[in-house]
Structure 1
Amino acid sequence: MVVMVENHSLDQMRTQLPYTFGLAQEHGYATHYAALTHPSLPNYLAIAGGSTFGVTDDDPPVAHPVRGASVFGQALAHGRTATLYAEGMPFGCAREDGGERYGVRHNPWAYFADEQAACEQHDTTLAQLPADVASGDLPNAGMLVPDTCHDAHDCDASVADAWLRTELPLLMSGPDWRAGRLAVVVTADEDDHSQGNLVLTTVLHPSLHGVVVDTPLTHYSLTRLYDEVLGVAPLRAARRAPSMAQAFGLPVAGLR
């Protein structure tokens, strides 16, 4: 499960998200993890698809219909599960801004035109998350996208940290976490141009205790982690990206 925040650098996240950084220190975090570009959308596409697909703006899916597979589509094609939970989204796989502070640029699955039917079925609102946690049905490839206040884009980082203080314990309260099947990655799409696009990336798993990773990693490493968990070939540029699983010593064979 990848949980996204917005537009804060490594150092800003260390100091302005104290709850989240406390979990990072308890479990594990990377000190040289870099986003790929600015603005938001190409970074989200890179995580979900292993490429920025030449996108350089935050325009909606009608302007950027992406062809080919995402990690979510890969999961479904190989008999696994995928869900993207988007807070504030008015209905599944919404392709325009709206609802309650929903920004489609933060919902990468909505851009993969070849997976439209799957997106409409499995790209859902945050209301579905508690039931999936409680039942042990969290997806093999998951993403949790806050609204544009709770992700620290429109509101202070302290607001995002308070939101994560609610959502992360929820994720870690269910049978998937207790059985060691769930790893949670918290990262930012990009920094605010203050630190060379370095962002704090935290990896939470019951097996990790105080791990600090200095290996240079990027969003393509996160794409590769999705695919390593799924047991499928890494998408596009993720094939050449350093392995997050190897860097953190994360037991992907035991994950969903």
Structure 2
Amino acid sequence: MKTAAKGLTLFMSLLGGAALAAEGPVPANIPRLDHVFLIIMENHGYDQIVGNPNAPFINTYAKRANSATNYFAVGHPSLTNYLEIVGGSNFGNLSDNYPDWHSVACQPNLKTGVVQTDNPATGVICPIHGSGADAAVTLFDATNEVEPPATSVTNIDGIHSIPVAKNISGKTIADQLVAAGRTWKSYQENLPLSGADGVNVSDGVYTNKTDFTQIKPALTPPLTSSSLVYLYAVKHNPFAYFKNIQDGANSKLSLAQIADFDGPHGLYADLGSGEVPSFSLIAPNQCNDQHGRGNAGAFCNYDPSDKGTQDGLNPALIYRGDVEVERLVKTIHKSTSWREGRNAIVVVWDENDYSATPNVNKVLLIVETNYGVRHHTNTAFNTHFSLLKTIEGGFGLPCLNHACDPGVLVLSDLFAVSHDWDHDGDND
């Protein structure tokens, strides 16, 4: 905790005075964008990925395209960062807890002011709606999982913190896009055929809703939910936590906008047809996004330990994620939607996860456009709020919640126009 005193005196330096909220002006200095493909990877800090020999494509891609070297996740755990990326706030949630699906009895954290945490466990999350106060982003978080004897993980960089904002709007970029007549979709690998409604975890076939006693003939020992490999996880699907999306059946703000990678309306089908939404959130499964699972075999095992360095990582898990990014990027490049209009691929890691204080929450951000500069490195201090603000600017949307805070920059140099861009999609 040696940096605490320094951090308390400096937390306003870049994020500015009292935090703003709701919607503000449309961010400037970002070229108009037609499509954004946002690929979110998991649980590894900047130094664990950059220079890692088990991530050859990612490292080559970061150099060929554009990248940020001073970019930080905001909080912990995963869901908190996904919410911050799409909504500019944690909405009072510092947990990976499941949604309280379609509940009309509970009150959202924005209204109650109660903060959701993993430790102590606070239960399922009321559908997000309305407006109110979110949770402060403190210098250090002791409510998250850490490897003993550590007692905290670092939010942002251990220097900047963000006070509570009291008029946070319970909405996301999806609401903004629909209001502007544009489209969005959340692509979630291994989502079951039944769709996202009520599904917290799934291997693509079986889910938390499966009655395993109905699988006949019964095996010995019997099949149970404990054998389920959590490939899809709702904590990586932030839109599913919002009331209007849970309840908006057949509307443009609904669970119908959440699809698997495969299938007739999945990511690969949409890319093949060229019929993709303006904004695509792309979440690989937990073996392919470098998160790992403890019951999915050696190639998907969790990292043996997390020291904030490459030492202690599962090399097979890192490589598996590298192959997934390469597959996604190259498939996007082959789509007609990539070649038409101004488009961007963004690859970002959600957090550094269990790497304990004093390690900071710096993660890799890669940006490729089909119209602009490449081989560029951004060295300015930026966070997930900067990414949201930048994407909103490209779509002509107002900044939302903490993306409007003083000191939150746009990543204008990573999205800048170049007149000699190679448009053939091979990124030579």
Matches within 5 A, 1:142-161: 142-154=280-292, 155=300, 156-161=317-322
Aligned to 1:51, the other structure's residue is in SS state: coil
1:180 CA drift (Å): 4.6
* Cα distance in 2, alignment partners of residues 93 and 77 from structure 1: 23
Q: What is the distance in 2 between the residues matched to 1:124 and 1:182? A: 21
Residues 99/69 of structure 1: CA separation in 2 closer, same or farther (3 Å cut): same
Q: Is this contact kept in 2: 1:141–1:230, CA < 8 A?
A: no
Cα distance in 1, alignment partners of residues 196 and 403 from structure 2: 25
Q: Which consecutive unaligned segments of at least 5 residues does structure 2 have?
A: 1-36, 101-123, 130-169, 205-230, 293-299, 301-316, 418-428
Q: How far, CA to CA, are the matches of 2:82 and 2:42 in structure 1?
A: 11
> Aligned partners of 2:128, 2:373: CA distance in 1, in Å?
36
Do residues 248 (structure 1) and 414 (structure 2) align?
yes
Query: Which sections of structure 1, spanning at least 5 residues, go unmatched?
Result: 252-256
- Could you list the per-position Cα deviations for residues 69-115 of structure 1 after superposition, in whole angstroms to 9, with x for gaps in the alignment? 21112111211010110001114334411233111000001011122
Alignment map for 1:132-143 (pairs within 5 Å)? 132-143=270-281
- Asked if 1:165 is matched to 2:326, the reply is yes
Higher CA-based Rg: 2
RMSD: 1.6
2:389 matched to which residue of 1? 224
Distance 2:346 2:415 in 1: 14
Alignment match, 2:233? 103
Distance (whole Å) between structure 1 residues aligned to residue 254 and residue 84 of structure 2: 17
The superposition leaves residues 191-211 of structure 1 with CA deviations (integer Å, 9 ceiling, x where unpaired) of 142640101100011323201
| The structure with more helix, counted as a fraction of residues | 1
Q: Does structure 2 retain, via aligned residues, the 8 Å contact 1:221–1:242?
A: yes
Looking at structure 1, the residues matched to 279 and 84 of structure 2 have their Cα atoms a distance apart, in angstroms, of 15
Q: Is the 8 A contact 2:259 2:267 kept in 1?
A: no
Give 3-state SS (helix, strand or coil) of 2:255's partner: helix
Work out which of the residue numbers 111, 115, 119 in structure 1 matches 2:254: 119
Using structure 1 for the length normalisation, give the TM-score: 0.92
TM-score of the two chains, using structure 2 as the length reference:
0.56
Q: Percent identity?
A: 32
What is the match of residue 93 of structure 1? 196
Match of 2:42 in 1: 6
CA distance in 1, matches of 2:60, 2:233: 28
The equivalent residue for 2:134 is none
2:150 matched to which residue of 1? none
Quote the offset at 1:243 in angstroms: 0.4
Q: What's the secondary structure of 2:348's corresponding residue?
A: strand
Match of 1:203 in 2: 367
Q: How many residues align?
A: 250
Partner of 1:187: 348
